[in-house]
């Protein structure tokens, strides 16, 4: 039951006390004002009625007042023009940035772009180097697949490298996140994959206990972490690896490889029972090889993610590439979101997100941003950030979706019958099938209606060799030209700002001069009227000549904007 809000009503005693205090305060203020004495503001005496040329002076004052209004209007129009220039310049810059990102350029300056590109290239090469180390050092390689799209998580280059390496190197498939797909779909995939490689059904623990976790549970005893810390399939996998070690009669090293966000580090943490490796929603958390000792006979080697080949489809790049959602361009993110929505059931997406019918991806993202309150200044939907959130949802363990296995079993060309038989050696497949069945029966699964139907794009090509990392062509000249163009625009803009400042200063000076001359004229006229009639005619001729020129220059029928 929802708790009611506390009442704002006060007790009578408290209310009367407050009223009494207010009355006392008002009394005190009145008393102080009485002591101080009220000073009434002095009224403007204006032009005396007995002063000569009163009408001319009033007319002159009115004219100067109108001139002041004109100056104010001019300043207002200049400010509006300045704002328009700023808006246009910002729009040009944004358009240039989007265009550069779409063409694979970086919009930052030359030095920043150089460092970013070098870092990007180095990081990709280092990922490939570390992955190669793991594959070479491993006796058994675990290829981790997301149960929602197992075919999309398979890398033919990796499988070929392991199967054709020679020696006793084995490849196992680990089907992770099995709690996010319907039970029937999981069984179909297990039956399909076991015909090519030994496959283990696995559900890793998503929240491991460490020191911080213990403190957290002590402070908040009501939080139930049984479901999140529970792991399924770990005993089966450990037994399989230990039996293989006994047959080989040596301590074995097990490499864990796969695309980003499939749960490589989570599997190692689940087997170890504590948080040994860093995990997170961001892609590419693991940067280098990490060794974790499970027992005396088994070492686990955690590896960086496989680099997705740029030649892959937009869907494969959206789900399998290492995208930094904080720094990735809006064009890449929107393209990824569009590819995901095109490959799943529209009705189920509408049901899952509780969103009305939409015509395209942009409209969907707009509706989702409005629903979740992701708005920019002025209530404009933040499409870029909501697209990033959508990608995180689909690669993380938040959304339940499933893909169907291919209708016919067609193994890849590198996987011959001899290779399949070689990979199955030293493993007790009957025992593995029984353990998988036990794991499948122990879990709870989403219903087929609540899980979104997804069309897989097939196997995703990856880059394993360091020398195959595509080096992005440097375009420093174009970047320099664009930078110079931006600087010139900024200089023009600053120049216009300086001009504007000069105009405003001149306007202010003119206003001050007008007000001072008006005051002097009033003082001189009143003085002459009261004291010297002889000098009045000279002043009169001077003032009349001056006003006549102004009357010719000024049109009273002018309409002001």
Report the C-alpha gap between 474 and 124 in whole angstroms: 17
Residue 412 lies in a domain: yes
Is 291 in the same domain as 382? no
Residue 153 lies in a domain: yes
Whether the predicted pLDDT of 6 surpasses 70: yes
Q: What is the mean pLDDT of residues 275-287?
A: 72
Q: What is the mean pLDDT of residues 73-81?
A: 93
DSSP H or E segment with residue 199: strand 199-201
| pLDDT on residue 110 | 52
Is 179 in the same domain as 270? yes
161 and 306 Cβ atoms separated by less than 8 Å: no
| pLDDT on residue 246 | 86
| pLDDT on residue 28 | 95
Global pTM reads: 0.59
Is 383 in the same domain as 353? yes
Whether the predicted pLDDT of 550 surpasses 60: no
Of 149, 156, 3, the closest CA to residue 457 belongs to 149
Whether the predicted pLDDT of 491 surpasses 70: no
The domain tally of the chain equals: 2
More confident residue, 514 or 198: 198
What CATH number did the domain enclosing 294 receive?
3.40.50.300
For 230-251, the pLDDT digits (tens) are 788 888 888 888 888 888 888 8
| Helix, coil or strand: residue 259 | coil
Residue 76 lies in a domain: no
User: Phi first, then psi: what are they for 120, rounded to 5°?
Assistant: -60, -45
Is 289 in the same domain as 236? yes
Q: What is the mean pLDDT of residues 166-178?
A: 87
Of 190, 175, 266, 260, the closest CA to residue 228 belongs to 266
Confidence of residue 323 (pLDDT cuts 50, 70, 90): low
Is 285 in the same domain as 248? yes
Is 276 in the same domain as 420? yes
Tell me which residue has tokens 């497949």.
Answer: 429
318 and 336 Cβ atoms separated by less than 8 Å: yes
456 and 151 Cβ atoms separated by less than 8 Å: yes
3-state SS of 375-438?
ECCCCCECHHHHHHHHHHHHHCCCCCEECCCCCCCCCCCCCCHHHHHHHHCCCCHHHHHHHHHH
Is 292 in the same domain as 333? no
| pLDDT on residue 377 | 85
Residue 276 lies in a domain: yes
What CATH number did the domain enclosing 345 receive?
1.10.1580.10
Least confident among 153-167, 326-340, 407-421: 326-340
More confident residue, 500 or 13: 13
Residue 331 lies in a domain: yes
Task: Locate 36 and state its tokens.
Answer: 């101080």
Is 169 in the same domain as 259? yes
Tell me which residue has tokens 């090509």.
Answer: 461
Is 322 in the same domain as 365? yes
| pLDDT on residue 561 | 35
Confidence of residue 506 (pLDDT cuts 50, 70, 90): low
Q: What is the mean pLDDT of residues 389-413?
A: 85
Residue 322 lies in a domain: yes
332 and 101 Cβ atoms separated by less than 8 Å: yes
Tell me which residue has tokens 């004291």.
Answer: 531
101 and 479 Cβ atoms separated by less than 8 Å: no
Whether the predicted pLDDT of 7 surpasses 80: yes
| pLDDT on residue 337 | 87
Residue 41 lies in a domain: no
What mean pLDDT value characterizes the chain?
76
Domain span at residue 383 reads 314-395
Residue 145 lies in a domain: yes
Is 291 in the same domain as 375? no
Is 278 in the same domain as 426? yes
Confidence of residue 53 (pLDDT cuts 50, 70, 90): confident
Q: In Å, what is the CA distance from 42 to each residue of 7, 46, 47?
A: 50, 12, 15
Q: What is the mean pLDDT of residues 210-228?
A: 41
Is 235 in the same domain as 251? yes
């Amino acid at each position: 039951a929802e708790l009611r809000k506390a009442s704002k009503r006060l007790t009578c005693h408290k209310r009367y006390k407050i009223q009494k205090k207010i009355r006392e305060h008002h009394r005190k203020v009145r008393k102080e004002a009485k002591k101080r004495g009220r000073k009434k503001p002095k009224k403007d005496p204006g032009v005396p009625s007995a002063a000569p040329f009163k009408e001319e002076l009033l007319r002159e004052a009115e004219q100067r007042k109108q001139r002041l209004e004109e100056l104010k209007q001019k300043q207002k129009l200049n400010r509006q023009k300045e704002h328009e220039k700023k808006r246009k310049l910002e729009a040009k810059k944004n358009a240039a940035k989007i265009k550069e990102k779409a063409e694979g350029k970086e919009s930052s300056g030359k030095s920043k772009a150089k460092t970013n590109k070098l870092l990007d290239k180095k990081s990709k090469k280092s990922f490939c180097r570390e992955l190669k180390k793991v594959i070479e050092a491993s006796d058994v390689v675990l290829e981790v697949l997301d149960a929602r799209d197992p075919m999309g998580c398979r890398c033919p280059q990796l499988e070929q490298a392991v199967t054709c390496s020679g020696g006793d190197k084995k490849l196992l498939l680990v089907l992770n996140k099995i709690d996010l797909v319907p039970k029937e779909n999981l069984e179909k995939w297990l039956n399909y994959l076991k015909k090519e490689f030994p496959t283990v059904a696995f559900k890793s623990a998503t929240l491991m206990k460490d020191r911080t976790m213990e403190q957290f549970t002590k402070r908040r005893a009501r939080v139930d972490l049984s479901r999140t810390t529970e792991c399924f399939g770990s005993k089966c996998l450990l037994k399989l690896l230990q039996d293989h070690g006994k047959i080989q009669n040596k301590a074995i090293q097990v490499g864990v490889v796969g695309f980003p966000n499939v749960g490589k580090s989570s599997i190692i943490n689940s087997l170890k029972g504590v948080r040994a490796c860093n995990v997170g929603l961001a892609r590419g958390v693991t940067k280098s090889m990490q060794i974790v000792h499970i027992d005396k006979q088994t070492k686990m080697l955690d590896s960086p993610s496989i680099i997705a080949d740029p030649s892959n489809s937009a869907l494969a790049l959206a789900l399998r590439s290492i995208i930094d959602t904080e720094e990735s361009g809006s064009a890449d993110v929107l393209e990824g979101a569009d590819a995901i929505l095109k490959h799943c059931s529209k009705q189920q997406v509408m049901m899952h997100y509780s969103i009305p019918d939409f015509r395209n991806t942009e409209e969907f993202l707009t509706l989702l941003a409005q629903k979740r309150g992701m708005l920019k200044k002025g209530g404009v939907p933040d499409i870029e950030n909501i697209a990033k959130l959508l990608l995180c949802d689909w690669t993380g363990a938040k959304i339940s979706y499933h893909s169907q296995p291919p209708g016919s079993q067609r193994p890849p060309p590198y996987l011959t019958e001899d290779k399949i038989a070689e990979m199955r050696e030293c493993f007790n497949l009957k025992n593995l099938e029984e353990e998988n069945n036990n794991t499948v029966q122990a879990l709870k699964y989403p219903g087929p209606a609540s899980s979104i139907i997804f069309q897989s794009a097939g196997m995703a090509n990856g880059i394993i060799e360091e020398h195959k990392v595509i080096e992005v062509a440097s375009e420093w000249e174009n970047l320099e030209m664009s930078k110079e163009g931006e600087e010139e625009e900024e200089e023009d803009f600053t120049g216009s700002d300086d001009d504007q400042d000069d105009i405003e200063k001149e306007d202010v000076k003119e206003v001050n001069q007008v007000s001072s001359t008006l005051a002097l004229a009033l003082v001189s006229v009143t003085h002459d009227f009261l004291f010297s009639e002889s000098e009045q005619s000279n002043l009169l001729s001077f003032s009349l000549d001056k006003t006549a020129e102004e009357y010719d220059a000024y049109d009273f029928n002018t309409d002001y904007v």
